[in-house]
Amino acid sequence: MAVLLNGLRLVSSGNLSLHGIKSLQYKSTRILCQLPCKSSYQGRPFSNKNMTVELDNNTGVAVIQMKKPPVNSLSLEFLTEFAINMEKLEMDRECRGVVLTSSNPKIFSAGLDINEMYGKTPEHSGEFWRAVQEMWLKLYGSNMVTIAAINGSSPAGGCLMALACDYRIMADNPKYAIGLNETKLGIVAPFWFKDSMINVIGRRATEHSLQLGLMYSASNALKIGLVDQLVAQDKIMTHALSVMSEWLAIPDHARQITKSMMRKPTLDRLLTNRESDIQNFVNFISKDSIQKSLQLYLEMLKQRKS
Ligand SMILES: CC/C=C\C/C=C\C/C=C\C=C\CC(=O)SCCNC(=O)CCNC(=O)[C@H](O)C(C)(C)COP(=O)(O)OP(=O)(O)OC[C@H]1O[C@@H](n2cnc3c(N)ncnc32)[C@H](O)[C@@H]1OP(=O)(O)O
């Protein structure tokens, strides 16, 4: 966690918290000293297998562009890479904001990689689910301003990533859809997916949305507040950067403490139930009936193509 206080930037390793400033300062200084020097990648794009990360030193804004073909599905490898990149940016003194987007012009992210949930051992499932949790904790708990530039469809886990950001801008294209569609696959969105959605669109709309596994067109997503703005596809990055500059005009410490105040109860709920959530996932996903649903869904996806 990093907080700007009286012009001094304090860094700690945790997510957003409401710790007293003194303990934050103590922790921060220690952890900062243990960190590797960040200037090694400042100002240069660093490319990983599944995403590129480019930090602009002048603005303090990093762009994470997901680029895992064909549809940015969130595999264990992808999620691990994402969490490492978020951690690096979080610890970087120069970085104050992140724009999350996709290199695929039609798909933001297809959500969790279904192959990671089908036919796998309980050990693998547990490891995968921990990585899903980590991605969300890093994004939802980030001290940086986070903006999702949703330049394509974004079902399930893709929608969760967008929900975890501070602001959502979607490309104005009637073909793109976004939502938590888990029930359509015969699975259940966990409580922290549900909480993330409630915090954005409210309880009633979330209940309706989750029970029916609704996917919303861009214009309907705007109507229910699932996204904040629609922008022409070719303007989405320029617009995201302009919105970012408005957010960065607010003093970091005031914005960060406010963000923490709003998000801490939701974060804590997962942090205190992390192991049982993993166990629930493993038990649920290992059931024959759930495996059957996933198998049928994977077959349906393949058939749709032919
Ligand atoms: C009591 C509760 C306790 C515990 C909680 C328990 C369980 C919770 C569990 C899980 C929560 C999961 C959240 C998720 O994210 S599940 C994933 C949901 N995602 C989807 O439904 C998206 C499905 N995909 C699509 O709709 C489309 O593919 C598309 C809109 C993203 C893209 O459409 P296109 O027409 O452009 O591309 P396609 O031809 O359809 O696909 C190309 C290629 O990609 C494969 N694919 C697509 N999506 C996924 C995916 N999510 N995972 C893996 N693979 C995917 C698709 O099969 C094609 O493959 P081939 O080229 O045919 O090999």
HSE-CB at 185 with a 13 A cutoff on CA atoms is: 26
The tens digit of pLDDT for each residue in 266-283 reads: 999 999 999 999 999 999
Q: pLDDT digits over 179-230, tens only? A: 999 999 899 999 999 999 999 999 999 999 999 999 999 999 999 999 999 9
Ligand 1 and 114: CB distance under 6 A? yes
- Annotated catalytic residue within 81, 94, 116, 182: 182
| Catalytic annotation, pick one of 97, 111, 157, 179 | 157
User: Residue 302 CA: which ligand 1 atom is closest?
Assistant: 62
Structural contact between residues 161 and 135, judged by C-beta atoms closer than 8 angstroms:
yes
- For 165, residues 6+ apart whose C-beta sits below 8 A from its C-beta are 100, 139, 146, 147, 148
* Residue 24 a catalytic site member: no
pLDDT band at 130 (very low <50, low <70, confident <90, very high): very high
Instruction: Quote the pLDDT of residue 48.
Output: 84
- Domain locations in the chain as residue ranges: 42-305
Mean pLDDT of 102-125: 97
pLDDT at 54: 97
The half-sphere exposure of 225 on its side-chain side, counting CA atoms within 13 A, is 12
pTM of the full structure: 0.89
Render pLDDT for 5-48 as a digit per residue (tens, 0 to 9): 323 333 333 344 433 222 222 222 222 222 233 333 445 566 68
Output the CATH code of domain 42-305. 3.90.226.10
pLDDT at 8: 30
Predicted pLDDT of residue 44? 58
4 pLDDT tier (thresholds 50, 70, 90) = very low
Average pLDDT over every residue of 240-261: 98
Determine whether 112 is an active site residue: yes
Mutate which of 50, 66, 71 for ligand 1? The one with the most ligand atoms within 8 Å of its CB, which is 71
pLDDT of residue 220: 98
Predicted confidence at residue 167, as pLDDT, reads 99
The amino acid at 192: W
107 lines ligand 1 (CB under 6 A): yes
Give me the pLDDT at residue 196, please: 98
pLDDT tens-place string over residues 156-185: 999 999 999 999 999 999 999 999 999 998
